[in-house]
């Protein structure tokens, strides 16, 4: 049996290999279709990544949480969701932003020894929160890219990277897929927080909860507006970016209050 360290290195190399293929495609857009090859490589990379992370994430009935596991989970979710979009959309060039990150973070749990053991209930809530924030972070990056691409397309300013990106319709549907997935994780994170985190006022978590719920409402409003009124383009990009700003405030604002006001 190969050790988890060797398997993590193999997953990292596969991510790097996929990134190299995508970079060559961006430089030479006339190349043959690389999507089937990228799908095969990333399927193996994601499976190996998930295997190694599972070994560093669980201990008996506890969840091991540290910055290495958190970032590795973020990259794994991003790579897995993007892989799903590859199956029915030509989104392989978007991997140039996610797969190099996944290549580095796959190895992080091996390098960081600090451990925080959490009960399975609280640990699950934290992992869902991390997943929601990470997926919405990727959605925000996608929204920025989509907004820039649409603006450049209208102004007829298309760089080599803009030309290599998927068509605007595909970029929009990919953005929606990220937002819907993140919205589901954020919903479960808020619900689980209501069950597992007690005494919001005593723990000074009411600020975090307020901004998280506000962000959830903005995301929900955007999804409703897209389905009912066809909101897209710059409107979709702005809603996604502003909602994530509120989500970030739920952590930064709480940290500021705890550190400088209440303390």
Q: Which carries the bigger pLDDT value, residue 27 or residue 160?
A: 27
Could you read off the pLDDT of 167-187 as tens digits, one per residue? Answer: 888 889 889 988 999 999 999
Domain ranges of the chain: 1-113, 115-263
- Residues 3 and 215: their CA atoms lie apart, in Å, by 41
Tally of CB atoms within 10 A around 222: 21
| Mean pLDDT to the nearest integer, 43-59 | 89
| Mean pLDDT to the nearest integer, 53-81 | 81
Tally of CB atoms within 10 A around 257: 15
Does the pLDDT at position 156 exceed 80?
no
pLDDT attached to residue 106: 92
CA angle 28, 16, 113 (to 5 degrees): 155
Contact 135, 181 (CB under 8 A): yes
pLDDT attached to residue 262: 43
Contact 96, 142 (CB under 8 A): no
pTM over 0.85: no
Contact 135, 51 (CB under 8 A): no
Nearest partner of 140 among 43, 222, 18, 253, judged by Cα: 222
130-134, 176-180, 236-240: segment of lowest average pLDDT: 130-134
> Of the ranges 53-57, 87-91, 113-117, 239-243, which is most confident?
239-243
């Amino acid at each position: 049996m190969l050790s988890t360290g060797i398997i993590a290195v193999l997953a990292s190399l596969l991510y790097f290999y996929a990134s190299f293929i995508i970079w060559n495609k961006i430089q030479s857009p006339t190349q043959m279709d690389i999507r089937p090859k990228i799908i095969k490589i990333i399927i193996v990379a994601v499976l190996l990544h998930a295997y190694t992370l599972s070994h560093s994430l669980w201990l008996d009935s506890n969840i091991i949480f540290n910055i290495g596991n958190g970032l590795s989970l973020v990259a794994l979710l991003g790579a897995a969701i993007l892989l799903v979009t590859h199956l029915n959309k030509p989104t392989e060039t978007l991997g140039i932003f996610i797969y190099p990150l996944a290549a580095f973070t796959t190895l992080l749990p091996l390098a960081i020894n600090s451990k925080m053991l959490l009960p399975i209930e609280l640990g699950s809530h934290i992992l869902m929160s991390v997943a929601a924030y990470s997926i919405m972070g990727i959605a925000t990056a996608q929204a920025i890219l989509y907004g820039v691409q649409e603006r450049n397309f209208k102004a007829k300013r298309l760089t080599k990277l803009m030309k290599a990106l998927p068509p605007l319709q595909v970029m929009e549907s990919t953005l929606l897929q990220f937002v819907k997935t993140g919205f589901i994780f954020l919903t479960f994170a808020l619900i689980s927080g209501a069950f597992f985190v007690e005494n919001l006022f005593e723990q000074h978590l009411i600020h975090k909860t307020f901004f998280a719920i506000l962000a959830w409402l903005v995301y929900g409003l955007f999804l409703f507006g897209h389905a009912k009124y066809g909101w897209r383009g710059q409107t979709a990009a702005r809603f996604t970016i502003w909602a994530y700003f509120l989500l970030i405030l739920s952590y930064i604002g709480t940290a500021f209050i705890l550190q400088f006001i209440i303390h």
